[in-house]
Structure 1
Amino acid sequence: MTHPDGRNDDDEHRRPELIRQNRVERRRAKIREEIERNRRGEYSVPTWVLTLALVLVVGGWLALVFLS
């Protein structure tokens, strides 16, 4: 529908304040869902943490082999 000043209803949904607000609300919902999953025990370790642990273990083992 068109407003008397010539704006469309769709224009109201594209205002920067609403876009920013929607983005903040989605981010909060995502964080809330992650906290709920973690409380239920569905926590998983991020891949980069597992990769870092593997690199440290292999690097330590290689250092032990070559430096001793």
Structure 2
Amino acid sequence: MTTSPGPQSGREPTDSGRQRQNWVERRRTKIRDEIERNRRGEYRVPTWVLALALLLIVGGWLALIFLV
């Protein structure tokens, strides 16, 4: 009975293990870069927040027009 070496065996990680590690490293780098930009004051408001604010403003005006 032979088993293929996995990440738990202490041998080389599989391709999917390396891809996952690369993904985790890229994600960490992306988060770290975003935090640094925010600390410098270069943050942006997400588009969905702007869309929600616009929807609330327009909805409020419509409610004032039709309900009053």
Provide the TM-score with structure 2 as the length reference.
Answer: 0.78
What's the Cα RMSD here?
Answer: 1.6
> Number of matched residues?
57
- Compute the displacement of 1:36 (Å): 0.3
Which residue in 2 is equivalent to 1:41?
41
Structure 1 residue 60 displacement after superposition: 0.6
- Residue by residue over 1:35-56, the C-alpha shift from the partner in whole angstroms, topping out at 9 and shown as x without a partner, is 0000000011011100100000
Q: Distance in 2 between matches of 1:51 and 1:17?
A: 39
Counterpart CA distance in 1 for 2:45 and 2:25 is 25
Q: Which residue is 1:20 aligned to?
A: 20
**Counterpart in the other structure of 2:59:** 59
Detail structure 1 runs of 4+ shifted over 2 Å in the superposition. Answer: none
Q: Residue 45 of structure 2: SS of its match in structure 1?
A: coil
TM-score for the superposition, normalised by structure 1: 0.78
Specify every segment of 5 or more residues in structure 1 that has no aligned partner in the other structure, as ranges: 1-11
- Pair 1:31-2:20 in alignment: no
